[in-house]
Amino acid sequence: MRVVIALCCLAVAGLAQDNWRSEGVIYTDHSPHVKLHTVPVRAVKIEDGFWSARMRINVERSIPSMLEELEQHGVVDNFLRLTGKSQAPRKGPVYTDSDIYKWIEAAGFVLQSGDRPELRKTIDRLTDEILAAQEPSGYLNTYYQNERRDKRFTEMYRSHELYCLGHLLQAAIAYYRATGNRRLLDGGMRYANYLIETFGPTKRPALTGHPELEMALVELYRTTGERKYLDFAGYLLSGVERERLHLTDQQIVYLFSGIPFTSRTEFEGHAVRAMYASCGATDYYAETGDAAYRATLERLWKDLVNHKMYITGGVGSREAGESIGLAYELPNAQAYGESCAAIGNMMWNWRMLAVTGEARFADVMERALYNGINSGMSLSGTLYCYRNPLESVGEKIRNEWYDTTCCPPNLERTFASLPGYFYATSAKGVYVNLYDNSRLDWHLENGTGLQIEQKTRYPWDGAVEITVTPARAAEFSVFARVPGWSQATQIAVNGVYDAVRPEPGEYFEIRREWKAEDRIEVKFDMTARMIRANPLVREDAGRVAVQRGPMVYCLESADQAGLGSLFDAELTGTFEPFSEKFEGDLLNGVVELRHTGAVAEKLFEDEPLYQASAPSARPFKPAELTFIPYYAWANRGMSSMEVWVPVDQSATVR
Amino acid sequence: MRVVIALCCLAVAGLAQDNWRSEGVIYTDHSPHVKLHTVPVRAVKIEDGFWSARMRINVERSIPSMLEELEQHGVVDNFLRLTGKSQAPRKGPVYTDSDIYKWIEAAGFVLQSGDRPELRKTIDRLTDEILAAQEPSGYLNTYYQNERRDKRFTEMYRSHELYCLGHLLQAAIAYYRATGNRRLLDGGMRYANYLIETFGPTKRPALTGHPELEMALVELYRTTGERKYLDFAGYLLSGVERERLHLTDQQIVYLFSGIPFTSRTEFEGHAVRAMYASCGATDYYAETGDAAYRATLERLWKDLVNHKMYITGGVGSREAGESIGLAYELPNAQAYGESCAAIGNMMWNWRMLAVTGEARFADVMERALYNGINSGMSLSGTLYCYRNPLESVGEKIRNEWYDTTCCPPNLERTFASLPGYFYATSAKGVYVNLYDNSRLDWHLENGTGLQIEQKTRYPWDGAVEITVTPARAAEFSVFARVPGWSQATQIAVNGVYDAVRPEPGEYFEIRREWKAEDRIEVKFDMTARMIRANPLVREDAGRVAVQRGPMVYCLESADQAGLGSLFDAELTGTFEPFSEKFEGDLLNGVVELRHTGAVAEKLFEDEPLYQASAPSARPFKPAELTFIPYYAWANRGMSSMEVWVPVDQSATVR
């Protein structure tokens, strides 16, 4: 089945039958235009620490309860009714098929970390039910049936048919990489083949409408070696069908598809679509090396990180159209910040990291993961944020179900796939991308076995002990990522500090002959800092955010004893350090930060909305402000919260 | 036809055949629960000055070109096709009928100021075409025809059937008050009668869906004396049909109808719906005196002016749902501020003013009129804003047509009706609500003829000379409104200053025996001032707006010679006065304001989005900032603009 690509730069386990065992979250071993090669999820064990708690709740609570929700809301019945096993009417919006696919993908990633026979059986049952609904042609969609049958592929700008196929393929690949079982994969390929036979420049015109299929097709190409999948992804990205499909200007913006991806100069439109399109374009570049894609991706990335990304790694300012705003349009209370968009941001930066090997992409990945993604799932694992605002006067932001329930299974697949993001390899050695107690059991690209163990209390503590154990002594490089926020990092090997100072936002290369039990000691600079936004972000004027390590902090009303309203408080004494303390019983254990502040003596809400600027000072009284990590907010009932806190202007240097 | 209401507190021209001549924008002469009685539009001539220019362009350009647009977009054909005179398919959204009705209302107000035979003929032609489409039952709606006929009155939450009827009635009343011609009025009544016969607590359930009909029905009651119209308005406001109509929580919020109006505690949902509902409720209170309505209206008004109104008088923070945000949610660049909502705000405060005689309502009316409404129409009179943001990086904000074209004819009817807002009467005398060169030819409530003439350069200058000429010497009061922004007002009668200091935000009562040519000299305090918002409006933190008289000012890029970007500038020297100059050639003549400011030496856009707050100062260089009135922005091509300008924090007293 596999086509061996000439000039592929390595020869790992090979292209044999059980190649699925070595394929990562994305599989870049044979991608000609990447710097980094991924490591399979199964090669990394996340051990007791920060992420293990999240991953455990994900497997034990989130994934099981989500399946119940999906079944209760008829998402599975939608398939059963097509084979007469259910008499219920079709339920939910046009895109519900994707929700069960995304759930299967999440479960597939769980199985990549170790077999769970019950979960496997559930997927096999769902696979039966899904494939039973597939038509002989390969077409598979529960919405475009009966009276809507004639509309198949006629309203791609809204139909989500290709989006659902993309998620079907990603689910099938995840399960295949977990088990080697190709049933769902073969079903997905039948649908993809039908699509490719029917659509194209000389056939009927296609549009992804909601980009997603592009990256799925490239991954299918990576999995099967069949070039047609890559080519069709290229066709979708080429955006040549605008005229044949009569797409409007507004659709071009909103859909982030329909015109050549390489003609894009900035992010706009629907945030998740924009992120997923960029994932697909990066995957396509990784295989083709098309320079126009690389230039576009770099331009878009700069637009995102310089103009349009929340400090949490969230993306999407506007509720209207769930869309990205203009440059510097980053409202806080009104932030949309859909969980899926932050996930898309992480997925995209993961791909950019693979292509470039540059730590700036890992920085964005980490920012999104610890903050804008992590906030999306409650500590209980059963409630989800769809929006992730940076300020709130109190609202029911976490819910167990949404009629558009894209975010919950998306969060689940992200947490389940997490081990696959920690490490990568290149011909020169191994990359450490993320930090947590973990154990890698893999090999260098020359085949030499390699174990790496991390011991740390990261992200609460900046010390990480990394033990490197090659199967035999060998010269290679360990690239330890130095996050951009760590202004003074110390790295020692076997107790000896390197003369070179680790630069923030770079990988620190340690090249030497490594032998068993060699020890790297890393100390990151975890000083809690006040961060200010570019003054062009008007919503953050006169305010600072607090960040400690990768964590963005916030004020939540539950922690401010004696404070009337959160929004009457400000930070003072900006040059004083924060006091910090790990509170094991608070929010499953967090480092809490405290700082001096002040609170207005007369509540602001008693003042008029507008008044002439008067020369009388508004009296403040001192108050201590307590900060918790942003991701942990809204886990103690209704509360008010803010990330960007007003700061005493007289003490702030502009 | 008219029912004489017992206990009506005055006896003006009477209830005779030509009573239409004395009816104002709303007609409150017989409303038992009002303090002020309106004056007909025809009794006031606006003479050369600020508003005459706007009104002239409205009559000469806006109204004629809008009819062309409406006809080109098929709004009139929609009626013609129902009588076979047009074969074109129905065009436009569900509510287009209302657009031609609103246009007729605008033209009707023009005719109230003086006959224009061509315009009258046009209305008569449109009346023929509209009434020809009316069904024998009275039903009249171009959307619910043919395949949609079965849906009549079955989806009132979205159908706009009652909304369109409301606008039909308002158009008919305006034309009747202009000409005494009842044809359109009788047609509207047939539809209203059909509705009332079919719907009600013991019949089929009704919902306005988009409030509007309530105020129209009360006005119809005022015009005809038929109580059933008032009662049906009360039924709609009573919101008792929630269960029978299966309205969701979300609909209740968005529609601002469907539950008892008197159960509302705050503004939320669709801004225009909320304003129109409040207009109807105030009209209903004016006739019934129901205390629960008065209490609700007062509560809502405080919510609006203390939490949810833009400094421009605009309402509606969010594009999503065109809705009012939470308290203090007043974004600037993203402000929705639909022109119709600012108009609704003015219409509501006009009604509250009539009910209470309190100047605080006139203050809001004036704020909306000079700023958030006036910005809605271009100086050319042919381009309209739908949204009225308070900040822009440059966008095509003015357009000649919108598919949802509610705002353009709404602006036109507002400007055409303006004379009717200037004066009012009570048993004690006459109220001067607004200032501009104008001439009132009316009478006191005891029948004594009264002429009032204003000579002024208001709003550019604060001096207003008011000549009061009763038909015979008589004791009565002249109530001169002192705007809330005029901190030091001087008022002299025949050259003698009153001992009592005029209070801002009150009517100043001058009671004496007036004789012909008595002269009041008013000097308002036109000092340009920096205004700050409540700190809870986070978007305005560290910023000030500039207001001079009733005018809110803004920075527009066109006026800032040598400034790279508007958004790199800040105001400095906050205790220095503004310099001001009337520029006759600028924007049809405006007072321009200048103030010292500063601009960043390094453009903000070259800085990162987020960085640690550093103790190094950001260098600024001096710059002069030039302000123009907000309403006049976006009349010189694409430009950036801001109302809330950052202010040098070290100089600002908090």
DSSP B316-364: --BTGGGEE-STT---STT----HHHHHHHHHHHHHHHHHH--HHHHHH
Q: Do B649 and A652 touch (CB under 8 A)?
A: yes
* Shortest CA gap A309–chain B (Å): 8
Interchain proximity A320–B325, CB inside 8 Å: no
pLDDT of residue A70: 98
CB atoms within 10 A of CB A573: 14
B22 in the same domain as B162: yes
Name the band, by pLDDT with cuts 50, 70 and 90, for residue B1: very low
Confidence of residue A565 (pLDDT cuts 50, 70, 90): confident
Same domain as B568, residue B467: no
Furthest-apart CA atoms within chain A: distance in Å:
79
pLDDT of residue A92: 96
Write down the mean pLDDT value for chain B: 94
Identity of residue B525: D
The answer to whether the Cβ–Cβ distance between A649 and B652 falls below 8 Å is yes
Q: Which domain CATH number covers A92?
A: 1.50.10
Q: Between residues A310 and A539, which one has the greater pLDDT?
A: A310
Cβ–Cβ pairs < 8 A, chains A and B = 164
Strands A518-523, A490-493: pairing is antiparallel
pLDDT of residue B649: 62
Q: Which residues of B touch A652 (CB under 8 A)?
A: 613, 649
pTM of the model: 0.90
Residues A372 and A341: their CA atoms lie apart, in Å, by 9
- Chain A residues near residue B618 by CB distance under 8 angstroms: 654
* Chain B contact set for A327 (CB, 8 A): 393, 605
Same domain, B354 and B452: no
When scoring B326, B338, B546, B610 by the number of chain A Cβ atoms within 10 A, the one with the most, hence best to mutate, is B610
Between CA B73 and CA B69 the distance in angstroms is 6
> A327: which 2 tokens?
């440059």
Closest CA to A270 of A229, A227, A209: A209
Last residue of a domain, one of A421, A446, A465: A421
Burial class (CB in 10 A: 0-12, 13-18, 19+), A106: buried
Q: How far apart are CA A298 and CA A313, in angstroms?
A: 17
**pLDDT for position A562:** 79
Q: Is the pLDDT of residue B224 over 90?
A: yes
Return all residues near B68 (Cβ < 8 A) that are at least 6 apart: none
pLDDT at A94 over 90: yes
Closest CA to A374 of A138, A30, A50: A50
Q: Tell me the average pLDDT across A330-336.
A: 95
A613 to B325: CB separation less than 8 angstroms, yes or no: no
Point out the domain boundary residue: B406, B421, B436.
Answer: B421
Q: Which domain holds residue A454?
A: 424-523
Cross-chain CB nearest to A531 (options B539, B610, B649): B610
Q: Can you give the pLDDT at residue A617? A: 58
Among A334, A610, A653, the residue with its CB nearest the CB of B615 is A653
Q: Do B306 and A604 touch (CB under 8 A)?
A: no
Using one digit for the tens of pLDDT, what is the confidence trace for A130-141?
999 999 999 999
Positive or negative, the Cα torsion across B409, B412, B418, B420? negative
- Is 70 exceeded by the pLDDT of residue B250? yes
| Contact between chains at A649 and B542 (C-beta distance less than 8 A) | yes
Q: Which of A307, A536, A604 is facing B536, going by the closest CB pair?
A: A604
Q: Is the pLDDT of residue A654 over 50?
A: no
A76: distance to nearest CA of chain B, Å? 27
At residue B613 the predicted structure's pLDDT band, cuts being 50, 70 and 90, is confident
Average pLDDT over residues B267-285: 98
Tell me how close the Cα of A422 comes to any Cα of chain B, in angstroms. 25
Residue B82 · residue B129 · CB < 8 Å: no
**What is the distance in angstroms between the Cα of B332 and the nearest Cα belonging to chain A?**
9
Residues B552 and B579 in one domain: yes
Please indicate whether, in this complex, the C-beta atoms of A604 and B532 are within 8 angstroms of each other: no
Q: What integer pLDDT is reported at residue B236 of this predicted model?
A: 98
Say if B582 falls within a structural domain: yes
Instruction: Pull the structure tokens for residue B411.
Output: 């602006």
B459-463, Cβ contacts within 8 angstroms, sequence gap of 24 or more: B459/B50, B459/B370, B459/B435, B459/B549, B459/B550, B459/B551, B460/B50, B460/B549, B460/B582, B460/B589, B460/B590, B460/B591, B461/B526, B462/B486, B462/B522, B462/B523, B462/B524, B462/B525, B462/B526, B462/B549, B463/B521, B463/B522, B463/B523, B463/B524
Q: How confident is the model at residue A10 (pLDDT cuts 50, 70, 90)?
A: very low
In terms of domains, do A133 and A212 share one? Answer: yes
Question: Do B163 and B59 share a structural domain?
Answer: yes
Q: Which among A331, A610, A650 has CB closest to B533?
A: A610
Of A421, A453, A483, the one marking the end of a domain is A421
Nearest to A212 by CA among A294, A276, A127: A276
**Is A529 domain-assigned?**
no
What confidence tier does B619 reach under pLDDT thresholds 50, 70, 90?
confident
A104 and A8 assigned to the same domain = yes
Whether A652 maps to a domain, the answer reads no
Tell me phi and psi for residue A279, to 5 degrees.
-60, -50
Does B609 contact A534 at a Cβ distance shorter than 8 Å? yes
Q: What's the confidence (pLDDT) of residue B620?
A: 84
Chosen for mutation from A402, A610, A618, A620 (greatest number of chain B CBs closer than 10 Å) is A610
Tally the domains of chain B.
3
Same domain for A190 and A296, yes or no, is yes
- Do B334 and A332 lie within an 8 Å CB cutoff? no
pLDDT per position as a tens digit, A281-304: 999 999 999 999 999 999 999 999
Residues 6+ apart with CB under 8 A from A507: A357, A359, A431, A479, A480, A481, A482
In this predicted structure, the answer to whether residue A13 has a pLDDT above a threshold of 60 is no
* Region of residue A396 (left: phi > 0; alpha: psi -120 to 50; beta: else): beta
pLDDT reading at B303 higher than 60: yes
Of A311, A334, A654, the CB nearest to B649: A654
Span between the terminal Cα atoms of chain A, in Å = 62
Q: Are strands A474-482 and A429-432 parallel, antiparallel or unpaired?
A: parallel
Q: Give the minimum alpha-carbon distance from B274 to chain A in angstroms, rounded to a whole number.
A: 20
In a domain, residue A99? The reply is yes
- Per-residue pLDDT at B616: 53
In sequence order, the 6+-apart residues with CB closer than 8 A to the CB of A317 are: A308, A323, A324, A325, A329, A330, A331, A334, A335, A336, B334
Query: How far is A436 from chain B, CA to nearest CA, in Å?
Result: 25
Residue A21: CB atoms within 10 Å: 16
Locate tokens 């159209």: which residue? A321
Neighbours of B85 (CB within 10 A): 13
Are B269 and B146 in the same domain? yes
Predicted confidence (pLDDT) at residue A642 exceeds the cutoff of 60: yes
Distance between CA atoms of residues B103 and B98, nearest Å: 8
A338 & A320 share domain: yes
| Ordered DSSP codes for B43-59 | GEEE-SSHHHHHHHHII
Write out the DSSP string of B599-625: EESS-GGGS-SEEE--SSPPPEEEEEE
Interchain CB distance below 8 Å, B533 and A326: no
Helix (H) / strand (E) containing A237: helix A227-238
Nearest chain B residue to A645 by CA distance is: B538
Instruction: Tell me which of B601 and A496 has the higher pLDDT.
Output: A496
What's the one-letter identity of residue B378? S
Tell if the CB–CB gap between B320 and A318 is shorter than 8 Å: yes
Dist. CA B18–CA B122, nearest whole Å: 23
Does the distance separating the beta carbons of B534 and A608 come in below 8 Å? yes
> Is A653 close to B617, i.e. CB distance below 8 A?
yes
How close A515 comes to chain B (CA, Å)?
A: 39
pLDDT of B355 strictly over 80: yes
Specify the pLDDT at position A618: 66
Q: How many other β-carbons are positioned within 10 Å of the β-carbon of residue A637?
A: 9
- For residue A307, the distance in angstroms to the closest alpha carbon of chain B comes to 6
In a domain, B118, yes or no: yes
Give me chain A's average pLDDT, please: 94
Q: Does residue B286 share a domain with residue B366?
A: yes
Kindly report whether the peptide bond that precedes residue B502 is cis, defined as omega within 30 degrees of 0.
Answer: no
> Using an 8 Å Cβ cutoff, are B610 and A531 in contact?
yes
- Distance (Å) from the C-alpha of residue B606 to the closest C-alpha of chain A? 9
Residue A654 lies in a domain: no
pLDDT at A7 over 50: no
Q: Is residue B653 part of a domain?
A: no
DSSP state of B638: S
- pLDDT average, residue stretch B224-243: 97
- For CA atoms A69, A73, A74, A75, the dihedral sign is negative
Give per-residue burial for A282-314: e unless 16+ CB within 10 Å, then b. bbbbbbbebeebbebbeebbebbbbbbbbbbbb
Domain match, B631 and B492 both: no
Mean pLDDT for B228-257 is: 97
Residue A266 confidence (pLDDT)? 98
pLDDT of A16 higher than 50: no
Cα–Cα distance for residue pair A368/A418, rounded to 1 Å: 13
Domain contains A359: yes
DSSP designation for A315: B
User: Which residues of A are less than 8 Å from B617 in CB distance?
Assistant: 653-654
B134-147 pLDDT per residue, tens: 999 999 999 999 99
Beta-strand relationship, A579-583 and A551-556: unpaired
B647 neighbourhood in chain A, CB within 8 Å: 613
Q: How far apart are the CA of B320 and the nearest CA of chain A, in angstroms?
A: 5
Residue of A nearest to B565 (CA): A536
Helical H runs in A246-337?
A: 249-255, 271-288, 291-303
Burial class (CB in 10 A: 0-12, 13-18, 19+), B452: buried
Measured between beta carbons, the chain B residues lying within 8 angstroms of A307 are 609
Q: Over the Cα atoms of chain A, what is R_g?
A: 25
- Residue from the list A306, A610, A616 with its beta carbon closest to the beta carbon of B531: A610
Lookup result for tokens 């509360």: A639
Q: Give CA–CA dist B180/A195, Å, rounded.
A: 68
* CATH number reported for the structural domain that contains residue A505 in this entry: 2.60.40
